[in-house]
Amino acid sequence: MHLKSRLALFVALSLTSVTLQASEVDELRQQLQQLKAQLAALEQKINAQEAELVEVKQETSEVKTTVASIEPSEQDADGIKLGGAIRTNYSHTSYSDGNKNRGGDFAFDIFRLNLNGSIGDVLLNAEIRFFDYMTAVKYAYVGYQLNEDWQVQAGITQVPFGNWPYNSHNYFFSTNYYIGLEDDHDLGILFKRSIKDNWQLDLAFFKNDELGGVDGFVSSRADRYSYDVVGFRAPGDGIYDDPNQPLGEYNTLSGRFAYHFEHREGFTTEVGVSALHGGLHDGLDRAGDYNAWAVHLNSHFDRWNLQLQHGEYRYNVDDIDRMAVGAYAFYDSIAAKAKTSTVNLAYSLPVEFGPVTWMQFYNNYGLVYDKSDNTADTWMNVTGVSVAAGGFFTYFDLVHARNQPFVGGSASGDSNETERRFNINIGYYF
């Protein structure tokens, strides 16, 4: 019975109690006391339920407040992450008697710092490398996602050319790296289209190289990460001399188009074409121009990866058949015109061997030939394995090469000797 109905009954019984017999009055009084007791119990229960409701509301409010405090931080992931690496290097070579006599050399390679993240809608990505002999910025750019498909990057960013991002698997890259056609970075603006409808496109304009061009205010134009032309070689100039006739790249247009085929699950192929064209400046006037093109293929079949690339480059400076390039704090020379081909094969293997979780076995071959300076071909073959173990990443490379920088030769050398280098590069990444 509803509480109000019972109260009404109490009142009615009280008014008519005078007409009832004494025994009936006593009985009704007992019932009334029982009902009053039940009423008190109900009131206590109601009060308890109201208290519980208040507590639930408070807990709900606290949860909402907590969620509100969490959700903005998850949605607004502003912040710049700091990472980097420390690397050391062991090498045993055929072209240094001292190195062979010592059983090889173990030395510090680099300490590097990486910045990556965003503030608002603006992205930041940068890497600076510290060597014993120089400091170099590899890349440093800000980016913005224009829409779902297009991103723009401005600053020192990678030149879109060839198999991306690397046309190699080993520590030494390919022969293309030493002529400025792999992992090259310059100052400009890059528009990147993500893969959609199986194709992607990268278009870029670079005002000059990463050190400010021919008039860049730097102590040495060789203190850089990636190879760029810094001059030309006149007759009688040495291969490794500081360039007497400085040049700098400027106003370069670069484009890379790729189409992606998915043959079946776990079997994909990217086929692409790249091209670039720019000017050469001597500090006062335009001294010539340069261009390059390449066709490339990057195919993944389960754990296998096959990379193929073929192309040609040309520096057009009057009566010059050899150019000066700079990187890693020293100067070298390359032919003003040449063809280049690379063939790379790799096999990736997930493992569970102590801290080792991943290994990749590879063989990378590169050739630079038909050189305008009539020097011998440059070729390099690298057989090796890379190993991932926690924060450590290590390359074990056996290199055989001829006229190859860092393997006893020059990209514009004329040697018939095949040199060897066994190399272990150990890096801890954080």
Q: Do 189 and 255 lie in a common domain?
A: yes
Place of tokens 């480059």: 313
Q: Do 41 and 117 lie in a common domain?
A: no
Q: Do 59 and 118 lie in a common domain?
A: no
- Asked whether residue 372 is assigned to any structural domain, the reply reads yes
Give per-residue burial for 382-394: e unless 16+ CB within 10 Å, then b.
bebbbbbeeeebb
Cα–Cα distances (Å) from 68 to 58, 59, 408, in that order, read 15, 14, 62
Cα–Cα distances (Å) from 203 to 60, 165, 231, 252, 265, in that order, read 52, 15, 26, 11, 30
Q: Do 57 and 93 lie in a common domain?
A: no
Q: For every one of its 430 residues, what pLDDT tens digit does the chain have, with 9 covering 90 and above?
A: 444 444 444 444 344 444 434 455 456 566 656 655 565 555 554 444 444 433 433 333 333 333 333 333 344 568 999 999 999 999 999 999 999 999 999 999 999 999 999 999 999 999 999 999 999 999 999 999 999 999 999 999 999 999 999 999 999 999 999 999 999 999 999 999 999 999 999 999 999 999 999 999 999 999 999 999 999 999 999 999 999 999 999 999 999 999 999 999 999 999 999 999 999 999 999 999 999 999 999 999 999 999 999 999 999 999 999 999 999 999 999 999 999 999 999 999 999 999 999 999 999 999 999 999 999 999 999 999 999 999 999 999 999 999 999 999 999 999 999 999 999 999 999 9
- Asked whether residue 404 is assigned to any structural domain, the reply reads yes
Contacts by residues 217-222 (CB-CB < 8 Å, ≥ 24 positions apart): 220/134, 220/326, 220/329, 221/246, 221/326, 222/326, 222/327, 222/328, 222/329, 222/330, 222/331
Burial class (CB in 10 A: 0-12, 13-18, 19+), 103: exposed
With contact defined as beta carbons under 8 Å apart, do 253 and 278 qualify? yes
CA diameter of the chain:
141
- Asked whether residue 33 is assigned to any structural domain, the reply reads yes
Give the whole-angstrom CA distance, residue 178 versus residue 410: 9
> Can you give the residue range of the structural domain that contains 28?
3-70
Cα–Cα distances (Å) from 177 to 69, 149, 220, in that order, read 49, 29, 20
Q: Do 59 and 20 lie in a common domain?
A: yes
CATH of the domain at 85: 2.40.160.10
Give the whole-angstrom CA distance, residue 267 versus residue 405: 35
Distance of CA 369 to the CA centre of its chain: 31
Q: Do 53 and 24 lie in a common domain?
A: yes
Torsion of CA 351, 357, 362, 368, to 10 degrees: 170
DSSP secondary structure code for residue 96 in this structure: -
Q: Where are the beta strands (DSSP E) in 169-321?
A: 185-196, 199-209, 228-232, 245-246, 248-264, 267-281, 286-301, 304-316
End-to-end Cα distance, the chain: 73
Q: Do 165 and 61 lie in a common domain?
A: no
Give the whole-angstrom CA distance, residue 417 versus residue 397: 20
Is the full-model pTM beyond 0.85?
Answer: no
Domain boundary among 33, 52, 70: 70
Q: Do 193 and 148 lie in a common domain?
A: yes
Q: Do 343 and 409 lie in a common domain?
A: yes
Torsion of CA 136, 142, 145, 150, to 10 degrees: -50
Tell me how many domains the chain contains.
2
Give per-residue burial for 185-216: e unless 16+ CB within 10 Å, then b.
bbbbebbbbeeeeeebbbbbebebbbbebbee
- Asked whether residue 130 is assigned to any structural domain, the reply reads yes
SS3 221: coil
- Asked whether residue 217 is assigned to any structural domain, the reply reads yes
With contact defined as beta carbons under 8 Å apart, do 208 and 184 qualify? no
Q: Do 234 and 341 lie in a common domain?
A: yes
- Asked whether residue 75 is assigned to any structural domain, the reply reads no
Q: Do 373 and 236 lie in a common domain?
A: yes
Domain boundary among 70, 93, 117: 70
Give the whole-angstrom CA distance, residue 224 versus residue 249: 14
Give the whole-angstrom CA distance, residue 92 versus residue 210: 33
Domain boundary among 43, 70, 97: 70
- Asked whether residue 264 is assigned to any structural domain, the reply reads yes
What radius of gyration, in Å, describes the C-alpha atoms of the chain? 37
Give the whole-angstrom CA distance, residue 376 versus residue 315: 19
Give the pair of three-digit tokens for residue 222: 């060789």
- Asked whether residue 391 is assigned to any structural domain, the reply reads yes
Give the whole-angstrom CA distance, residue 279 versus residue 317: 10
Q: Do 196 and 227 lie in a common domain?
A: yes
